[in-house]
Amino acid sequence: MTRTVVVTGGGTGIGYAVAAAFAAEGAQVFITGRRQSVLSEAAARLGEGARTLVCDATDPDQIEALRDQLPTTVDVLVNNAGGNRDLDTPAGPQRLGAVGLSGQSGPDDLHALAASWRANMEGNLVSAVLMTAALNKQLAPGGAVVHIGSFAADRGAGSYGAAKAGLNSWNTFLARQLGARDITSNVVAPGYIADTEFFRDKGGEQFHQARVAETMNGRAGYPEDIAGTVVFLASPAARHITGQVINVNGGAVTTR
Ligand code: NDP
């Protein structure tokens, strides 16, 4: 039977690799994102059967509209949409691990701080909650929900890390709720993944090499490394795995 798979942020990077892996298995794949041009280009590469739906995963109205365009049964939901707003600040990735209070003082900066925290909470945590809640009734018994977290959850990475840590916590709650209907819920937590828009033009070679040096296997991760784990978690072989955070990070050491 053809499975229906929804991948948020499926037009680029990890989400695209996940969508491609499911499409290769013959699934009917729906990819979402905020840019139609990106989605259309991705769908052309995914091949016949891939569908695109423009939807901001933080916007309840857009998500309700999305739900109405999806089939009545969804087998797999991959909450992949996300990003780190703080990477777009001038200091960029150097602020990873420091974003929060560092450099933020005085009443004016509280507005910037609030904006950063709200954006990262909405983009990485609230988005997954809203998408799952919207599709809840459509999720089929025997199905799976997989959230893309991050090793940043354990690395003291400010608002982004806190949002991903919140995702881990909520996943435990969700797994109990969905478990009664034979639906699994797990987080796949990537380490540093090269070749996506996330760090593109932001980290540079020095940043790249520093992340590789943190791993046990001396390599960067790539989107396909994450896709394989997501597909496994949605497979019959993984029916008894739920409520877990699966680290896919080359053994990168957690630094606090
Ligand atoms: P990308 O920036 O390539 O992917 C993010 C995707 O999410 C884009 O397609 C983007 O499309 C979409 N997106 C972002 N915000 C929204 C939104 N509000 N609504 C709908 N779609 C949205 O980077 P990655 O592939 O690397 O990131 C994918 C996931 O992996 C993210 O959750 C990220 O936090 C996580 N991750 C990445 C790591 C890395 O090193 N790259 C490490 C750990 C975790 P559009 O802008 O068109 O909406």
Domains, the chain, ordered by start: 4-248 (3.40.50.720)
| Per-residue pLDDT, 101 | 53
Report the separation in Å between the CA atom of 106 and the middle of ligand 1, taken as the mean of its atom positions.
Answer: 32
The answer to whether the CB of 215 falls within 8 A of the CB of 191 is: yes
The answer to whether the CB of 31 falls within 8 A of the CB of 10 is: yes
76-94 residue pLDDT tens: 999 999 999 888 765 554 4
153-198 residue pLDDT tens: 999 889 999 999 999 999 999 999 999 999 999 999 999 999 999 9
Between strands 51-54 and 28-33, the pairing is parallel
What is the average per-residue pLDDT within 10-16? Answer: 98
- 4: tokens are 């229906």
**Confidence class for position 228, pLDDT limits 50, 70, 90:** very high
83 lines ligand 1 (CB under 6 A): yes
| Per-residue pLDDT, 94 | 45
197 lines ligand 1 (CB under 6 A): yes
Q: Which residues are catalytic?
A: 160
Is-above-0.90 flag for pTM?
A: yes
189 lines ligand 1 (CB under 6 A): no
At 122, is the secondary structure helix, strand, or coil? helix
CA distance linking residue 246 with residue 149, whole number of Å: 9
The answer to whether the CB of 14 falls within 8 A of the CB of 191 is: no
Instruction: Kindly state the helix (H) or strand (E) to which residue 142 belongs, with its residue range.
Output: strand 139-148
57 lines ligand 1 (CB under 6 A): yes
Please state which of the ranges 13-17, 133-137, 202-206 shows the lowest mean pLDDT: 202-206
SS (H, E, C) 52-66: EEECCCCCHHHHHHH
Q: Which of 66, 80, 96 to mutate to test the pocket of ligand 1 (most atoms within 8 A of CB)?
A: 80
Q: Hey, what long-range contacts does 248-251 have (CB within 8 A, 24 or more apart)?
A: 248/188, 248/189, 248/190, 248/191, 248/221, 249/151, 249/189, 249/190, 249/191, 249/192, 249/215, 249/221, 250/191, 250/215, 250/216, 250/217, 250/218, 250/219, 250/220, 250/221, 251/215, 251/216, 251/217
82 lines ligand 1 (CB under 6 A): yes
125-150 residue pLDDT tens: 999 999 999 999 999 999 999 999 99
Report the separation in Å between the CA atom of 227 and the middle of ligand 1, taken as the mean of its atom positions.
Answer: 14
Question: What phi and psi, each to the nearest 5 degrees, are found at residue 106?
Answer: 90, 150
What is the average per-residue pLDDT within 117-126? Answer: 97
ipTM above 0.95? yes
Instruction: Kindly state the helix (H) or strand (E) to which residue 205 belongs, with its residue range.
Output: helix 204-213
| Greater pLDDT, 242 or 110 | 242
CA distance linking residue 102 with residue 106, whole number of Å: 12
The answer on pLDDT for 95 being more than 70 is no
CA distance linking residue 245 with residue 256, whole number of Å: 19
Question: Half-sphere exposure of residue 130, counting CA atoms within 13 Å on the CB side?
Answer: 22
Residue of minimum CA distance from atom 21 in ligand 1: 33
Report the separation in Å between the CA atom of 82 and the middle of ligand 1, taken as the mean of its atom positions.
Answer: 4
In 34-135, the DSSP E strands lie at 51-54, 74-79
